Each structure stands twice: as C-alpha cells, then as structure tokens.
Amino acid sequence: MARRKKIYEGKAKILYEGPEPGTIVQYFKDDATAFNAEKKAVIEGKGVLNNRLSEFFMTGLGQIGVPNHFIKRLNMREQLVRQVEIVPLEIIVRNYAAGTMSKRLGIEEGTQLPRPIVEYCYKDDALGDPLVTEEHIAAFGWASQQDMDDILSLALRVNDFLSGVMMAVGIRLVDFKIEVGRIFDGDFQRLIIADEISPDSCRLWDIETGQKLDKDVFRRDLGDLKDAYTEVARRLGVMPKNAQPMTKPTLIN
Ligand code: C5P
C-alpha cells in the first residue's frame, strides 16, 4: 500500500496530496484548540461532525454559485478539495458583537450590529493572528484591491447564506471566519472559499435560549462540545443517526 504525502498539519486538520494534480485530501482531526493552542483537548467525533458540516455548507454555497474548494466527501473524516494558494488572511464577519470585538470595543456580547462588519486578521500563529487593516494588506502585498473587492463580496454572500440556513433551524449566526485561496486558470486567477466552515469557526447561538452551540463551549468550559456540534448537525439533518466516529486516517489509494 502506498504511503501518501502529508502536505501540512494544522491544529484541527491534516492536508494530504490528492489523487489528481490540483487536489488535496483534507482530514479532520478530533483535536480542539483555543487561545492559539494554549488550551487543547481531543474531542472524540468532532472531526467526523466538522467533515459533514463543512461538506453541507460548502455544497450549499456551491449550489447558489459561491465558489469554494469542496469537491466531494471521501469518508467519515476526509474530503477531497481543490488545491489553492491560501491568502494569508482570516476573514471574520460579525452580525452581533461577541468575542474579541466585545472585548476590544466594550460592546456587550449579543448586541446586534448596525450592519455586518467584516474584519481581517493576518494569518500567523506566532503573532496570534493580529487584526490588520486594508492598508496593511495592500502595503504588504497580501492581497490586491481586486482581491479585496472579491473577498468582501464572497464574505457577505457566505454571511447571507449561512444566516438564512441557520435561522431556518432556530440558530443565530453571531459571527464566523472564512479563508480564501487562489486558483489559477491559464492567465487568470480567481478567489474561492477554502479551509472549512464548521462550528469551530462560527459562533452559533440558539435563537430561543441563547445556548452556545459552537467552539465557545470548549473555550469557556460551558459543557460538552460534541453534544453542541451534534445538535447543530441534527437540526440541519446532516448526520446519519447511526454514524460511528472513525478514529484513524485511512488511505484512499
Ligand atoms: O475570537 P473572535 O471573536 O475574533 O472570533 C470571531 C469568529 O471567528 C468566531 O466565530 C471564531 O470562532 C472565529 N475564529 C476562527 N479562527 C480564528 C479566530 C477566530 O475560526 N483563528
């Protein structure tokens, strides 16, 4: 059996070389980290849930014409995605104040914002992903003005889509983070959504009770993270009832 090539291992995912040029296998780990990996745990089954949930969101986005890297799910923990050149930004969209915005600006968590607010952080773990402005992004050449126009439009489309999908199952989309990557087609390049969209990268609150159904459950010790993610998956009709988490990566070739 051929050993496949690991391209990258991050905090929550491993990327392997895909079966075709321009493809990557994205493996979802059970590892949970917070505060730039100062807090760590293994939450059995989290990777399975995030694999399914990211598939669900990316597929839906594709169906409404929002380009993204998802090709197909391979198994419980892995999906085949397009290889992209990641733009070194974390793009955060906020509908309600929470987290670092509440802290930074002294706005009570849960306050509805007058309009969606988009923030950019420079992707660098050693620096703790600092907040940056479009001035930094342009001056340091991380993205062009055209890229920034495209990123804003992608981020707001994702926000409208996710807000609607969540509202339909009684969940408020407080905020989320996405990443984008470049794909090249001859002389042309375009930006598509990459990485993952899951409760690891969103804030999701039950509309009725305000109960948190996202990674804040882990960050703030609010209960069982797997139960929270399972509830999101259950409401969206995503997880097959008898699915068992798989514990080891498998080879696809
Ligand atoms: O921590 P903060 O309030 O800035 O996070 C805003 C949103 O972005 C949250 O949904 C959080 O889960 C997500 N985020 C992320 N990865 C990071 C930073 C934030 O997914 N490195």
**CA 18 to ligand 1 centroid distance, Å:** 28
Instruction: Give φ, ψ of 24 to 5 degrees.
Output: -140, 145
**CA 93 to ligand 1 centroid distance, Å:** 9
Reply yes or no on whether the pLDDT at 163 is more than 50.
Answer: yes
- Cβ neighbours of residue 74 closer than 8 Å, sequence gap 6 or more: 25, 80, 252
| Residue of 195, 194, 236 whose CA lies nearest to 213 | 236
Burial of 219 (0-12, 13-18, 19+ CB in 10 A): middle
pLDDT (0 to 100) of residue 91: 99
- The closest-lying atom of ligand 1 relative to the alpha carbon of residue 175 is 10
pTM: 0.94
* Tokens representing residue 78 in the block: 């892995």
Q: What is the largest CA-CA distance in the chain?
A: 56
Residue 239 — very low, low, confident or very high, per pLDDT cuts 50/70/90? confident
Predicted confidence (pLDDT) per residue in 106-131, tens digit: 999 999 999 999 999 999 999 999 99
* Ligand 1 within 6 A of CB of 215: yes
CA angle, 80 then 178 then 224, to 5°: 85
CATH architecture of the region 86-206? 2-Layer Sandwich (3.30)
Buried b (16+ CB within 10 A) or exposed e, 43-52: bebbbbbbbb
**CA 124 to ligand 1 centroid distance, Å:** 14
pLDDT (0 to 100) of residue 242: 57
Alpha-carbon span 211 to 112, nearest angstrom = 17
In this structure, the residue with its CA closest to atom 19 of ligand 1 is 177
Distance of CA 72 to the CA centre of its chain: 17
Residue 248 — very low, low, confident or very high, per pLDDT cuts 50/70/90? very low
Q: Please report, for the chain, the start and end positions of each structural domain, with discontinuous segments joined by +.
A: 6-84+224-251, 86-206
* Ligand 1 within 6 A of CB of 75: no
Q: Which CATH superfamily is domain 6-84+224-251 in?
A: Phosphorylase Kinase; domain 1 (3.30.200.20)
